[in-house]
């Protein structure tokens, strides 16, 4: 589904070598962790997949096709197939929980008659159907993060990229989020989850990619934390 072939990324403005000679492939349906210290290149790695940054050298392939071939509308279409969850949730504060989900469905062009049922289904999945009418500021951090996940998956993405989705949450809430991710993965969505958290990586063993200063120093099918 995703392949990196000798991918190097240098940010020209600062001449920072964010990623160096990365080779790997991710199959459909996988759930993998991406770990490494702050600045190791995790967000840059995810950015390459959504083409928010492009490799300086090397190629990223999606379903065997190089991302460099994707231009304009094709890039937008590609991004619409991907759900994204960020550390700072990035919900639209002037919209209610339900409206935030509707917004995502509108962006992907889902038929309006489906919005309510699909949104309520994912809100039930994240345990927040009862909060559908409230605004993000009226939610706890963990609840906001669950809404952000609901928003990312309501469009049925083939791929979910989660960048430190449990970054600011206490351990119990983090585990709820991780269980939610499991359920989403079991429904067929491929997941790449960037995390600093040793607890997460060690408690639930999965394929784990470890970046160190832009290099992929470990790609372990059985996971575990090692930096
Ligand atoms: N837009 C940018 N312009 C220039 N340099 C950047 C940019 N974004 C990131 N970098 C640099 O690239 C390197 C990798 O950054 P990246 O954000 O990918 O790390 P990260 O592993 O996600 O870190 P964190 O855990 O802190 O989120 C860092 O040295 C960073 O300073
Ligand atoms: Mg980051």
Q: In what order do the strands lie in the sheet with 208-212?
A: 82-85, 159-163, 190-195, 31-35, 208-212, 215-220
> Is residue 227 exposed (0-12), middle (13-18) or buried (19+ Cβ within 10 Å)?
middle
- Could you read off the pLDDT of 47-68 as tens digits, one per residue? 999 999 999 999 999 999 999 9
- Ligand 1: which residue has its CA nearest to atom 8? 44
- Could you read off the pLDDT of 129-147 as tens digits, one per residue? 999 999 999 999 889 988 9
| Total H helices, total E strands in the chain | 7, 10
What percentage of the chain has pLDDT greater than the value 90? 72
Question: Given this model, what pLDDT does residue 89 score?
Answer: 66
Cβ within 8 Å of residue 216, ≥6 positions away: 22, 23, 24, 209, 210
d(CA 134, CA 44): 34
Higher pLDDT, 207 or 167: 207
| 127 pLDDT above the threshold of 70 | yes
Query: What lines the ligand 1 site, CB under 6 Å?
Result: 11, 13-14, 16, 18, 36, 38-44
- Ligand 1: which residue has its CA nearest to atom 31? 39
| 173 pLDDT above the threshold of 80 | no
Which atom of ligand 1 lies at the shortest distance from residue 36's CA? 21
Question: Given this model, what pLDDT does residue 180 score?
Answer: 83
The pLDDT mean for the chain works out to: 91
What is the best residue among 33, 43, 48, 53 to mutate for testing ligand 1's pocket, by most ligand atoms within 8 Å of CB?
A: 43
- Could you read off the pLDDT of 147-166 as tens digits, one per residue? 998 999 899 899 999 998 88
What percentage of the chain has pLDDT greater than the value 70? 98
23 touches 48 (CB < 8 A): no
Q: Report CA Rg, the chain.
A: 17
Question: Given this model, what pLDDT does residue 84 score?
Answer: 92
- What are residue 149's DSSP bridge partners? none
- Could you read off the pLDDT of 61-100 as tens digits, one per residue? 999 999 999 999 999 999 999 999 987 768 999 999 999 9
- Ligand 1: which residue has its CA nearest to atom 4? 11
Mean pLDDT value of segment 34-54: 95
The model's pTM is 0.91
């Amino acid at each position: 589904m995703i392949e990196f072939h000798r991918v190097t990324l240098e940010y020209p403005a600062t001449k920072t070598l964010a990623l160096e000679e990365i080779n790997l492939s991710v199959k459909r349906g996988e759930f993998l962790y991406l770990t490494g210290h702050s600045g190791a290149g995790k967000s840059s790695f995810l950015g390459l997949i959504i083409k928010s940054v492009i490799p300086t050298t090397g190629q990223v392939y999606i379903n065997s096709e190089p991302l460099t071939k994707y231009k304009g509308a094709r890039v937008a279409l590609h991004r619409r197939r991907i759900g994204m969850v960020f550390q700072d949730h990035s919900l639209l504060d002037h919209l209610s929980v339900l409206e935030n989900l509707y917004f995502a469905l509108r962006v992907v062009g889902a038929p309006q008659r489906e919005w309510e049922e699909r949104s309520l289904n994912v809100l039930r999945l994240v345990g927040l159907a009862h909060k559908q009418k409230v605004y993000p500021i009226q939610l706890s951090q963990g609840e906001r993060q669950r809404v952000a996940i609901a928003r990312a998956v309501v469009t049925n993405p083939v791929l979910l990229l989660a960048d430190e989705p449990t970054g600011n949450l206490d351990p119990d809430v983090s585990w709820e989020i991780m269980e939610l991710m499991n359920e989403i993965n079991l429904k067929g969505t491929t997941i790449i989850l960037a995390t600093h958290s040793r607890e997460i990586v060690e408690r639930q063993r999965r394929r784990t990619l470890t970046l160190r200063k832009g290099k992929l120093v470990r790609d372990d099918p059985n996971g575990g934390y090692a930096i």
